[in-house]
Amino acid sequence: MIDVPEAAFAFGFTNDRVGLHTSRTIMLVELRALLAACSPCSALADYRAAVVDENVLLKRTSTTRDATFYWLRTLYGLDPGVLLFRALRDLWDADAAAQPLLALLAAAAREPLLRATAPAVLDAPAESVVTPGMLAEAVSDTFPGRYNPRTLANIGGNAASSWTQSGHLRGRSPKRRARADSRPAAVAYALLLGYLTGARGEALFGTFWARLLDAPTYALHEQAVAAARDGWIEYRRAGDVTDVEPRHLLRNVKRGL
């Protein structure tokens, strides 16, 4: 399982072992609805007001509205002061087709349980069956003795749903391995995550975050060129030397990287 370096916690990453996949998924539908209802310059209080006071997510009770805001905030931050969320928000409206992978990348940065299930999905051959039990087993192997069988079953089912929302799995039962739709905006975000966790140059295309894009390296380079054209990153490649700088997404960050 991928643990992120402690230095990355300041940007919104976490290694918190509790994990929301015991009860929730990446909540792509809710995230899309919330970000569509709020302007890109919204603050944390605006997102809370939209969910809790205005009920833009159409939840039936105040308790459910409060819980939904808590889950979304835990998964994504919902605060422009959290770099991972600010960058997500920068890229979100650029391409709706990139949103499933953007959500997965952001959630994986903040959800160790989701990261623990990644090998069971990413290493599965195309069209092979991936079951909730396989994902539960991956979590059990990563965190031995931490979760009882019922909780592991919940995690497996929720994780299977999350990987389906991101495009890595398809179908209801059984779910089969599919190919996620990598797009330039998602590539820019994955390269940022790799950069924030210490990778540089060509190594950015071999990180865990790049693997989540589910595309061959040559395709990621092609999409990085497109992301640079859109102004999200700076990208240069000459022979075996690759230089990537996510300056726009890192704007106003004063910490040394």
Q: For the segment 184-195, what is each residue's pLDDT rounded down to a tens digit?
A: 999 999 999 999
Computed over every residue of the chain, the mean pLDDT equals: 95
pLDDT of residue 105: 98
Cα angle for residues 74, 33, 38 (degrees, 5° grid): 85
Dihedral sign, Cα of residue 76, residue 82, residue 88, residue 90: positive
Percent of the chain residues topping a pLDDT of 70: 97
- pLDDT-wise least confident of 14-23, 132-141, 167-176, 237-246: 14-23
Task: Count CB-CB contacts under 10 A for residue 33.
Answer: 16
pLDDT of residue 3: 84
pLDDT of residue 18: 65
What is the rounded CA–CA span in Å between residue 89 and residue 87?
5
Find tokens 């995690």 and name the residue: 155
Q: Which SS3 state, helix, strand or coil, does residue 129 take? A: strand
Paired with 242 in beta bridges are: 237
Residue 255 predicted with pLDDT over 80 = no
172 and 166 in contact (C-beta within 8 Å)? no
**H-run or E-run covering 76:** helix 62-76
- What are 28's two structure tokens? 């792509």
Q: What are the two backbone dihedrals, phi and then psi, of residue 134, each rounded to the nearest 5 degrees?
A: -65, -40
What mean pLDDT is predicted for residues 94-118?
97
Q: What are the two backbone dihedrals, phi and then psi, of residue 237, each rounded to the nearest 5 degrees?
A: -145, 130
Query: Which of 168, 74, 171, 70 is closest to 117 using CA atoms?
Result: 168
Task: Count CB-CB contacts under 10 A for residue 116.
Answer: 23
Q: How confident is the model at residue 257 (pLDDT cuts 50, 70, 90)?
A: low
Cα angle for residues 36, 39, 43 (degrees, 5° grid): 115
Task: Count CB-CB contacts under 10 A for residue 128.
Answer: 11
What mean pLDDT is predicted for residues 161-167?
98
Task: Count CB-CB contacts under 10 A for residue 140.
Answer: 17
pLDDT of residue 183: 98
Task: List, as one string, the DSSP characters of 87-147.
Answer: HHHHHHTT-GGGHHHHHHHHHHHH-HHHHHHHHHHHTSPTT-B--HHHHHHHHHHHSTTTS
pLDDT of residue 253: 83
Q: For the segment 30-72, what is each residue's pLDDT rounded down to a tens digit?
A: 999 999 999 999 999 999 999 999 999 999 999 999 999 999 9
pLDDT of residue 19: 81
What mean pLDDT is predicted for residues 199-221?
97
pLDDT of residue 55: 97
What mean pLDDT is predicted for residues 171-176?
94
What mean pLDDT is predicted for residues 238-257?
86
Q: What is the crossing angle of helices 149-166 and 99-110, to 10°?
A: 150
Sequence-distant (6+) residues with CB within 8 A of 226 are 184, 187
Query: Which of 221, 216, 181 is closest to 201 using CA atoms?
Result: 221
